[in-house]
Amino acid sequence: MGLLCMIVGHNVNRHRVWHDSLNFRTNCERCGTPLLRDTKGWREFDSAIDSDTSRSGHPHSEDGAPG
């Protein structure tokens, strides 16, 4: 996470958001951190709690793998 993101929070580009069958996802425009939108808003994707085989891969990824 970049210093600016630690101070003011991540920057979500709403034009690059995609749905992985469970949640909306994107990466921070400033630092590239993967983000997930849940019922409380945008937060960092935590693979320890957010990994799920039901998640679809990014629509433009080469292997279609989740994440």
21-58: pLDDT as tens digits? 999 999 999 999 999 999 999 999 998 999 888 888 77
The sheet carrying 18-19 orders its strands as 18-19, 24-27, 34-38, 41-44
pLDDT greater than 60 at residue 8: yes
pLDDT band (50, 70, 90) for residue 66: low
What are the sequence ranges of the domains in the chain?
Answer: 16-53
- What's the pTM? 0.79
- Cβ atoms of 45 and 34 within 8 Å: the answer is yes
